[in-house]
Chains A and B, each alone.
Chain A
Amino acid sequence: MNILKWQRPTLTPWTSFGRLSDLRDEIDRLFESPLTELTRNSNLLSGWTPMLDVYEDKDNYTVKAELPGLKKEDINVSLQDGTLSISGERKNESKHEDAEVYRTERSFGRFQRSVTLPAAVSADLGKATYKDGILTITVPKAEEAKPKQIKVSVN
Chain B
Amino acid sequence: MKALFQNESPTATQARPFAFHTPDVNIYETKDGYLLEAEMPGVTKDGLEITLEGHEVTITGRQTEEAVSGEVLFRERHGADYRRVFELDPAIDTSRVTARLDQGVLFLTLPKSEAVKPRKIAVSE
B74–A53 contact, CB under 8 A? yes
Which residues 23-63 of B have a CB within 8 angstroms of A? 24-31, 34-35, 37, 39-44
B76–A52 contact, CB under 8 A? yes
B31–A98 contact, CB under 8 A? yes
Q: Could you tell me the distance in whole angstroms from the C-beta of B38 to the nearest C-beta in chain A? A: 9
Cα–Cα distance between A142 and B111 once the two chains are bound (Å): 55
Task: Give every chain A residue within 8 A of B10 (Cβ-Cβ).
Answer: none
Total CB contacts across the A-B interface at under 8 A: 144
B120 within 8 A of A: no
Among B20, B35, B72, B105, point to the contact of A69 (Cβ < 8 A): B105
B25–A16 contact, CB under 8 A? no
Cα–Cα distance between A8 and B74 once the two chains are bound (Å): 10
Identify the closest chain B residue to A131 (Cβ): B103
Cα–Cα distance between A73 and B17 once the two chains are bound (Å): 37
Encode A57-87 as 1/0 by CB contact (under 8 A) with B: 1101110101111110000000000000000
A99 within 8 A of B: yes
B24–A105 contact, CB under 8 A? yes
B114 within 8 A of A: no
Identify the closest chain A residue to B20 (Cβ): A16
Q: Could you tell me the distance in whole angstroms from the C-beta of A100 to the nearest C-beta in chain B? A: 4
Task: Give every chain B residue within 8 A of A14 (Cβ-Cβ).
Answer: 78
B103–A16 contact, CB under 8 A? no
Encode B60-95 as 1/0 by CB contact (under 8 A) with A: 000001001111111111111000000000000000
B29–A100 contact, CB under 8 A? yes
Cα–Cα distance between A56 and B79 once the two chains are bound (Å): 18
> Would A132 and B43 be within 8 Å (CB), given that A96-B35, A102-B29 are in contact?
yes
Cα–Cα distance between A57 and B20 once the two chains are bound (Å): 29
Q: Could you tell me the distance in whole angstroms from the C-beta of B6 to the nearest C-beta in chain A? A: 5
> Would A15 and B18 be within 8 Å (CB), given that A56-B71, A102-B5, A105-B26 are in contact?
yes
10 contacting pairs across A/B (C-beta < 8 A)? A7-B74, A16-B21, A53-B77, A55-B72, A68-B103, A69-B102, A96-B35, A106-B25, A106-B39, A134-B65
